[in-house]
Amino acid sequence: MNRHAIWAIYRVEMARTVRTLLQSVVSPVISTSLYFVVFGAAIGSRIDQIDGVSYGAFIVPGLIMLSLLTQSISNASFGIYFPKFVGTIYELLSAPVSYLEIVIAYVGAAATKSTAIGLIILATSSLFVPLHIEHPFWMLAFLILTAVTFSLFGFIIGIWAGTFEQLQLVPLLIVTPLTFLGGSFYSIDMLPGIWRTITLFSPVVYLVSGFRWAFFGKADVSLGLSLGMTLAFLFACVAVIAWIFRTGYRLRT
Amino acid sequence: MQPAIAISGVSKTYASGFNALKSVDLDIKHGEIFALLGPNGAGKTTLISIVCGIVNRSSGTVSVNGNDIDRDYRMARSLIGLVPQELTVESFETVRSALTFSRGLFGKPANPALIEQILKDLSLWDKRDAKIITLSGGMKRRVMIGKALAHEPKILFLDEPSAGVDVELRQDMWAMVRRLRESGVTIILTTHYIEEAEEMADRVGVINRGEIVLVENKEELMRKLGRKQLRLELRHPLDAVPQALAGYGLELSADGGTLTYTYDNQSERPGVASLLRDLVTEGIAFRDLDTLNSSLEEIFVNLVRKAS
């Protein structure tokens, strides 16, 4: 194991977060606060409770998931796309590092960042609504699991993307719609029949549901299903990455 | 002993169908400076990229110090330092952290004293905490050299190292290359500046259209293929080359005032001494004479032209 290499990459990636603190940490916190104002105060005042939880508190897990997904994807995709774009990837490819080490370093850094942002948003939320977390361990486990899974997904996008436009394409066209269809701001029981069925195809439903269970002990789908679907997506990403490195896809052309 | 690099039957066809390398065989010896010459698009960079692990080859094998670049890639790659042709640097990193990163990436524990020494050797110490984006092109090139040396490689690739580099840096760089060679580092460089290969290299390889056209000791190459010219400025212009001197293949200038005799070391033509004797016999007097050695550049141009 080339741990010096993992550490070197990880440190550079984390250093970029610190350098761009405003963009990478402050902006998600501000936008989440705005969600609270709009959904929690303006709309939430007209919705009593969902499953016995006040609407303001109900949307907290969804909001954290929303940021966690987008941040994991953007951090990880940018982290590997940027060296490709400026050409410094030559050094990574010529270095004595294994695929596993590359993935651990880049995905680890991206997941660390988004987990930290998730926790910051959680802390911010507690300023707006009284929060009680039913299963803190599972909350943290879902947080980290999701961060790692979607950082892996972002890593794939970063390797696939040939232009900055493509880099934005998947998050904008797929991830954002999936998140809104994923029950972040509502219980999927509130949707009319056909839409309810459609949302069950969104992996985000299972993430949010599991995460919400960790908070309130109540969920749209069972915990086992949530965990299973998340793990299934994780392994799908790992399989794609293994294939990318085995074939040199878009890396060693 | 194993060669520093053994390339055997390496071919590369890109996805576009472009056949960049056609079964290349090449051995690089330990401790030598090897210059790879070739026109643009000949396959120099592709060959280097394959050895360094940046590009997948279509067929063939490469080993570095006996380590197969697939099976023992860790060992093979940790021996190699690469300074690529393009100026590609992490703009927002500082000079020192860029070198520290490279060393870590190649699996070596941190060594601030060594990094300091490299930066000083490359006249970068004053800029150690500057962001790379603020540096001039020449300085960025120095940073890239520093990054390649940060993990103490045993083999150094310099791909077009003097492209867009000023005289001062070029001299610094060649001084450094000599120092590295003295410490036992094997150096492979590609260059357009043939006088550099001529000055620096122990051996020269010429690649054209994806094929190695020739590999030779530089002196041997110059001796074998080098041509010499003797130019005689005549005291009295001639109308034509006298019949008696026809066997020399002399060229008479348009004004009839200069005779040029071209010969090489394996020529069947009679030598300079007999020409001078015959000139005296013919009563042709000359005012001055000079001789010219053809440079590696001319040899190279001739080879490539012949091959294509």
pLDDT at A126: 87
Give residue limits of the domains in chain A.
Answer: 3-247
Q: Which residues lie closer than 8 Å to A66 by C-beta, 6 or more apart?
A: A179, A184
Average pLDDT taken over every residue of chain B? 88
Which strand (E) or helix (H) includes residue A231? helix A223-247
State the smallest CA–CA distance between residue B59 and chain A in angstroms: 14
Distance of CA A24 to the CA centre of its chain: 14
pLDDT at B225: 67
* pLDDT tier at B306, thresholds 50, 70, 90: confident
pLDDT at B159: 92
- CATH 3.40.50.300 placement within chain B: 5-222
Helix, strand or coil, per DSSP, at residue A171: helix
More confident: B49 or B39: B49
Bridge partners, B19 (sequence order): B13
Q: What's at B194, amino acid-wise?
A: I
Burial of residue A28 (CB within 10 Å: 0-12, 13-18, 19+) is buried
pLDDT at A195: 84
Please count the other Cβ atoms lying within 10 Å of the Cβ belonging to residue B92: 14
Cβ atoms of B140 and B89 closer than 8 Å: yes
Q: Where in B139-191 does DSSP place strands (E)?
A: 155-159, 186-190
B contacts of A9 (beta carbons < 8 Å): 101, 105
Q: What tokens appear for B127 in the block?
A: 């800029």
Helix, strand or coil, per DSSP, at residue A50: strand
Average pLDDT taken over every residue of chain A? 88
Domain B5-222: which topology?
Rossmann fold (3.40.50)
Nearest to B234 by CA among B250, B247, B212: B250
State the smallest CA–CA distance between residue A171 and chain B in angstroms: 25
Matching CATH number, B227-293, of 3.30.70, 3.90.228, 1.10.260, 3.30.450? 3.30.70
Which position has the token pair 């911010």? A124
Edge-to-edge strand order for the sheet containing B155-159?
B80-83, B155-159, B186-190, B33-37, B203-208, B211-217
- Closest residue in chain B to residue A15, using alpha carbons only: B93
Answer yes or no: is pLDDT of B155 > 90.
yes
Answer yes or no: is pLDDT of A209 > 70.
yes
Q: What's at B39, amino acid-wise?
A: P
- Rounded to whole angstroms, the Cα distance separating A239 from B305 reads 50
- Rounded to whole angstroms, the Cα distance separating B294 from A66 reads 71
Choose among A8, A15, A94: nearest Cβ to B53: A94
**What's the ipTM?**
0.87
Chosen from A89, A91, A100, A104 to mutate, greatest number of chain B CBs within 10 A: A91
- CATH 3.30.70 placement within chain B: 227-293
Choose among A8, A83, A93: nearest Cβ to B104: A8
Give the mean pLDDT of B191-198: 74
Give the mean pLDDT of B224-250: 83
More confident: B298 or A118: A118
For the ranges B9-23, B152-166, B286-300, the one whose mean pLDDT is highest: B9-23
pLDDT at B111: 96
State the smallest CA–CA distance between residue B139 and chain A in angstroms: 17
Give the mean pLDDT of B249-266: 82
* pLDDT tier at B226, thresholds 50, 70, 90: low
Q: Do B91 and A91 touch (CB under 8 A)?
A: no
Which strand (E) or helix (H) includes residue B219? helix B218-225
Give the mean pLDDT of B173-197: 87
- Rounded to whole angstroms, the Cα distance separating A25 from A114 reads 9
pLDDT at A59: 86
Q: Which residues lie closer than 8 Å to A28 by C-beta, 6 or more apart?
A: A67, A71, A117, A120, A121
B contacts of A87 (beta carbons < 8 Å): 84, 86, 88
pLDDT at B143: 94
By the CB < 8 Å criterion, does A87 face chain B? Answer: yes
Answer yes or no: is pLDDT of B265 > 70.
no
pLDDT per residue over B213-224, tens digit each?
A: 889 898 887 777
Burial of residue A152 (CB within 10 Å: 0-12, 13-18, 19+) is buried
Cβ atoms of B298 and B227 closer than 8 Å: yes
Nearest to A250 by CA among A165, A151, A158: A158
